[in-house]
Amino acid sequence: MVKYLYRCRDIGYDCSFEFEAAEKKDLMPRIRIHTRYAHQVFEMNDDMIRKIEAAIKEIKE
């Protein structure tokens, strides 16, 4: 089994938000909602999306 883990602090926020999912594509919508409400990022630019994608870790169980 593989799962994907995103931690907000991995892209530089002082924030304890973590989210994991079985599929990578399920992460981004949650991350978008979180960064909007928690960090007032209303439009993610390509740089930020790249940063987030690079921060997502693949974990094998």
Q: State the residues that interact with Zn ion by CB under 5 A.
A: 8, 13, 15, 17, 38
31: left (phi over 0), alpha (psi -120 to 50) or beta: alpha
CA atoms within 13 A on the CB side of 35: 22
**Cβ-based nearer residue to Zn ion, 7 or 24:** 7
Alpha-carbon span 3 to 24, nearest angstrom: 8
| Minimum separation from the CB atom of position 60 to Zn ion (A) | 25
**Cβ-based nearer residue to Zn ion, 2 or 57:** 57
**Cβ-based nearer residue to Zn ion, 8 or 56:** 8
